[in-house]
Amino acid sequence: MWVDRGPALDFPALQADLARSVTQELHTLSTPKADKDKPKQMSAYKLSQMQADAKAKGDKAALAKLTPKFKWVGEKLVMKDATQSLELYAIHGAVHGEDMIVAYMPKIKSIFESDAYNPGAAGAVTTGVGQLAFQKLLASELDRLKVDYTLIISGHAPGGGDRDVTKADLMKAIGKATGN
């Protein structure tokens, strides 16, 4: 669950909270919850073994609990709890993967993405032409979707939040003067 940290942004904590929220929503393989607050993750192999055991025993209730639940994103999928919403958007035109999505939390104006923008280490100079195409696509798609974001959290960034970037950083990387 998201915790409002007030007006001062603590980027490492923000990254950890957003990653945890997104991860909890996006995991599709989880065991039945013995403790409602602590879902256990498992491998697809282990899940298939447990499903086979339940099927062999004729335990339809156990089998139903072990069947992954999937939600189709389509263009947009919104999930909410009492205090936050998480919006998932399909990204069009990504050659890297036709099924790429971006997660957005409107309350904190932050997106979580992987592969569309992988900022280099602090102070590093990046000149990759291929990365520029991904960056331009991400900016274009977020404009098309009218996503109002200020922070970009990369799924491939190391812990500590030292590679989280702002919309202004993305605009600078693609050669636009401002993030507006």
How many other C-beta atoms lie within 10 A of the C-beta of residue 139? Answer: 19
Each residue of 44-67: pLDDT tens digit? 778 788 888 988 998 888 888 887
- Residue 147: pLDDT above 70? yes
Write out the DSSP string of 131-149: HHHHHHHHHHHHHHTT---
| Bridge partners (DSSP) listed for residue 30 | 41
Cβ contact 64:77 at 8 Å:
no
In this prediction, residue 111 has a pLDDT band, given cuts at 50, 70 and 90, of very high
Q: Is pLDDT larger for residue 24 or for residue 178?
A: 178
Mean of pLDDT values over 134-141 = 91
How confident is the model at residue 27, as a pLDDT? 42
pTM of the predicted structure, to 2 decimals: 0.62
Q: Which class in CATH covers the domain with range 71-173?
A: alpha beta
Sheet with strand 76-80: strands edge to edge: 76-80, 85-90, 101-105, 110-113, 151-154, 165-166
- Round to whole Å and give the CA distance between 20 and 109: 16
Nearest to 88 by CA among 111, 69, 65: 111
All structural domains of the chain with their residue ranges:
71-173
